Amino acid sequence: MNSILNYETVSLEDDALVILDQTKLPNEIVILHLQTQPEIWQAIRTLQVRGAPAIGIAAALGVYLAAKNIHAEDYMSFFVQFHEAKEYLNSARPTAVNLSWALNRMEKVVSDNEGRNIPEIVELLRREAIAIKTEDTEMCRKIGEHGLTLIKNGDGILTHCNAGQLATSKYGTALAPIHLGRERGMNFRVYCDETRPLLQGARLSTFELVADGVDTTLICDNMASQVMKEGKIDAVFVGCDRVAANGDACNKIGTSGVAILAKYYGIPFYVLGPTSTIDMNIAAGKDIVIEERPAEEVTEMWYSRRMAPEGVKVYNPAFDVTDHELITGIVTEHGIARPPYSESLRKIMLP
């Protein structure tokens, strides 16, 4: 059987955005070819494509496809229709900054080339979308290089959610040091939180780590304290969907609890992500909009029969914010930021 690591998470083929449907993993490998904007919006919204970097790539490729189908006689008409398509895709999910970052970067191509004809602008958009994907692979490799300096062969690492290859173009962010280390013959013991309620750790992280030959152990979210207490964890690696200017990091729900436990047990807690997830326009984590997901994800999604009584209220935030005081370091493609983050993040964003 072909390894899951040999599949591209998101790519462009002719007139289609091609994604690996992550809602079907690990039991089925389903490749989707998406052509219309509603299809692409729905894929982002329903997590068929997920992970902050992968969402950004999908959005860039998706808005390029929208541009190809715009019928306009002049630049201004083209720009107005492009902006509408961009805003439509941007509405799919509110928290991951990579979505708006990639779409704004694509729109800048249009606004910077008013003097060109429309076919030329569309071609420039195609090149920019491909560049975003190519750059993501290189960024993830660099994040992996910096992350590898924080661990040694044989270490035990705890991770939450999935910030691996399935969330990016290659390598991942939080899992990049592990995949890169494996390429160099290193071995690690990785403990994956299942990550309720969507089970990205159970379904996705374990899937790709086992495929890479990593010593992988799945644990329920509420077992993290126990494995830390037993001395099995040397470091915690997590991804991020948005980082505020003060270092507060927004990631999959449950991350802040892991950070609190790590602080108690004296275990270093690292956030790994590209600089595109750092939002210097947001002063602190309290200003980050937290997406709330449907109640059905908690009450019935993974059960043959509904497991909660009808009428019970459900609170289902998709993310939480880890206070910067709990974070040992923020690992980016440009290096590792350390406290005080208001200074180190500003410096690391300069390149």
Provide the whole-model pTM. 0.94
Kindly indicate whether the domain formed by 4-140 is annotated with CATH number 3.40.50.1820.
no
| 42 pLDDT more than 60 | yes
* Portions of the chain given CATH number 1.20.120.420: 4-140
What mean pLDDT do residues 270-295 have?
96
Q: What is the CA radius of gyration of the chain?
A: 20
Place of tokens 């159970």: 202
pLDDT tens, position by position, 170-211: 999 999 999 999 999 999 999 999 999 999 999 999 999 999
Q: Which of 337, 309, 336, 341 is nearest to 325 (CA)?
A: 341
| 53 pLDDT more than 70 | yes
Pairing, β 269-272 against β 215-219: unpaired
The DSSP code for 5 is: G
Task: Tell me the catalytic residues.
Answer: 241
| 2 pLDDT more than 80 | no
* Portions of the chain given CATH number 3.40.50.10470: 141-348
DSSP helix/strand/coil, 337? strand
Strand order in 16-20's β-sheet? Answer: 10-13, 16-20, 31-34
User: What is the pLDDT at residue 116?
Assistant: 95
Q: How confident is the model at residue 336 (pLDDT cuts 50, 70, 90)?
A: very high
CATH topology of domain 141-348: Rossmann fold (3.40.50)
| 221 pLDDT more than 60 | yes
Please give the backbone phi and psi of residue 174, each rounded to the nearest 5 degrees, phi first. -65, -30
The two three-digit tokens of residue 211, written as one number: 């495929």
On average, the pLDDT of the chain sits at 96
Q: Which of 51, 40, 89 is nearest to 204 (CA)?
A: 51
